[in-house]
């Protein structure tokens, strides 16, 4: 049986999904939707024979897909999902779920009776080093988790169609658009629930000399974010988007009363240190090679994400299927709420309780 996919939004990330699906046994892209003709033309060359539509609603009406991938600009997710969730297709929507908590809640309400599998594209959890770190922490390598630290030092935001990602009202802000990945990783390793966010950051270097229809981009390019959890543990994000002259783009470390585990990307190694067994400079180093059939932009993690999505589709009649979809949406909404809280904290200079953002 071949699962037929429609891809809604055929810009950079939409084409990344098309390439991953092309390497996935039992899957085929049969439909494409995008209001931008040039994007559709490029995508059509990657999925020969796929039907093309200028409007995603026409794709849904054609009833030629079993599943859809939504890779449209962030600010459109809520409305596109509002249409898609009425069609009972399997759905993989790119991160962030939406740009506001209110829109996330609207989507979750609409998904309550949805019969298909729903997943959110938080693929960093499937990067081989991060997946190994999560496994080690779950297995007790660090004991009781007390701290986590994520550092991303990287290049500026890439150009997108219409440069929509240059403005916070389109993206939700950098801490929503980009950093939802990192809040997701934090929440996966922290035993508690996040309750308060304090952030300091802004726009120091990137895009300040650009103009779009008379507007200057307002997207932040650096931040420090501290997240406090209800069990007393805390996590920190160190983000710099004018640091492409660096060795590892991401370094994620988790510390507990029994030791420390850290994952490095793209060095693709995990270091495991246990108190009483290892000392500084003498920890265990584990290689985590990319074993996905297609590496793509995200070191094979998008391919693994698609594998998991296809597996979920194949077991869609399982009694836990709907609850797993709702859990995925709730987890994605929490990441958005943390980003929104961080953006508010940067604007006010004050810590923000998540209960005030997402009651």
What is the tens place of the pLDDT at every residue in 73-126?
999 999 999 999 988 899 999 999 999 999 999 999 999 989 899 999 999 999
- Cα angle for residues 201, 338, 101 (degrees, 5° grid): 120
287 and 165 housed in the same domain: yes
Q: What pTM was estimated for this model as a whole?
A: 0.96
Rounded to whole angstroms, the Cα distance separating 222 from 152 reads: 10
pLDDT surpassing 90 at residue 223? yes
58 and 192 housed in the same domain: no
CATH of the domain at 258: 3.30.360.10
H or E element in which residue 280 lies = none
Rounded to whole angstroms, the Cα distance separating 85 from 8 reads: 13
| H helical segments located in the chain | 12-22, 37-46, 56-62, 77-84, 101-111, 128-138, 168-171, 174-177, 180-189, 301-314, 321-348, 354-357
pLDDT of residue 318: 60
214 and 172 housed in the same domain: yes
61 and 180 housed in the same domain: no
Position 274 in a domain: yes
Position 327 in a domain: no
Indicate the average pLDDT of the chain: 96
Indicate the pLDDT class of residue 338, thresholds 50, 70 and 90: very high
Position 174 in a domain: yes
Position 324 in a domain: no
pLDDT of residue 112: 92
Position 150 in a domain: yes
pLDDT surpassing 90 at residue 31? yes
Q: What is the pLDDT of residues 248-296, one digit of tens each?
A: 999 999 999 999 999 999 999 999 999 999 999 999 999 999 999 999 9
pLDDT of residue 56: 98
pLDDT surpassing 90 at residue 215? yes
pLDDT surpassing 70 at residue 69? yes
Rounded to whole angstroms, the Cα distance separating 104 from 114 reads: 15
pLDDT surpassing 60 at residue 319? no
136 and 262 housed in the same domain: yes
Domain ranges, residue 61:
3-124+302-319
CATH of the domain at 96: 3.40.50.720
279 and 152 housed in the same domain: yes
288 and 343 housed in the same domain: yes
70 and 198 housed in the same domain: no
225 and 137 housed in the same domain: yes
pLDDT of residue 334: 98
**What 3-state DSSP class applies to 264?**
strand
Mean pLDDT of 197-207: 98
Tally of domains within the chain: 2
pLDDT surpassing 90 at residue 1? no
pLDDT of residue 317: 64
**What 3-state DSSP class applies to 250?**
strand
């Amino acid at each position: 049986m071949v699962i037929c996919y429609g891809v809604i939004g055929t810009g950079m990330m939409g084409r990344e999904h098309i390439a991953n699906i092309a390497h996935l046994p039992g899957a085929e892209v049969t439909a494409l939707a995008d209001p931008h003709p040039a994007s559709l033309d490029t995508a059509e060359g990657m999925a020969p024979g796929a039907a093309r539509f200028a409007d995603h609603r026409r794709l849904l009406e054609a009833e030629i897909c079993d599943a859809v991938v939504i890779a449209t600009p962030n600010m459109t997710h809520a409305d596109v999902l509002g249409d898609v969730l009425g069609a009972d297709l399997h759905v993989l929507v790119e991160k962030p779920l939406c740009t506001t908590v209110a829109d996330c809640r609207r989507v979750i309400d609409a998904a309550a009776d949805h019969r298909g599998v729903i997943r959110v594209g938080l693929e960093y959890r499937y990067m081989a080093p991060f997946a190994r770190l999560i496994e080690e922490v779950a297995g007790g390598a660090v004991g009781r988790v007390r701290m986590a630290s994520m550092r991303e030092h990287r290049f500026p935001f890439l150009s997108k169609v219409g440069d929509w990602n240059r403005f916070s009202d389109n993206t939700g802000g950098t801490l929503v658009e980009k950093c939802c990945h990192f809040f997701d990783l934090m929440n996966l390793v922290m035993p508690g629930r996040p309750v308060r966010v304090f952030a300091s950051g802004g726009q120091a270097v990137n895009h300040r000399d650009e103009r779009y229809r008379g507007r200057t981009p307002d997207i932040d390019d650096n931040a420090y974010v501290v997240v406090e959890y209800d069990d007393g543990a805390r996590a920190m994000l160190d983000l710099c988007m004018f640091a492409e002259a660096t060795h590892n783009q991401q370094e994620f470390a988790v510390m507990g009363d029994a030791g420390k585990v850290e994952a490095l990307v793209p060095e693709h190694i995990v270091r495991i240190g246990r108190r009483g067994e290892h000392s500084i400079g003498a920890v265990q180093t584990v290689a985590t090679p990319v074993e996905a059939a297609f590496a793509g932009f995200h070191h094979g993690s998008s391919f693994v994400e698609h594998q998991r999505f296809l597996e979920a589709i194949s077991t869609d009649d399982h009694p836990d299927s709907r609850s797993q979809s709702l859990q995925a949406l709730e987890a994605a909404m929490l990441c958005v709420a943390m980003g929104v809280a961080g953006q508010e904290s940067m604007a006010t200079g004050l810590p923000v309780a998540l209960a005030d953002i997402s009651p």
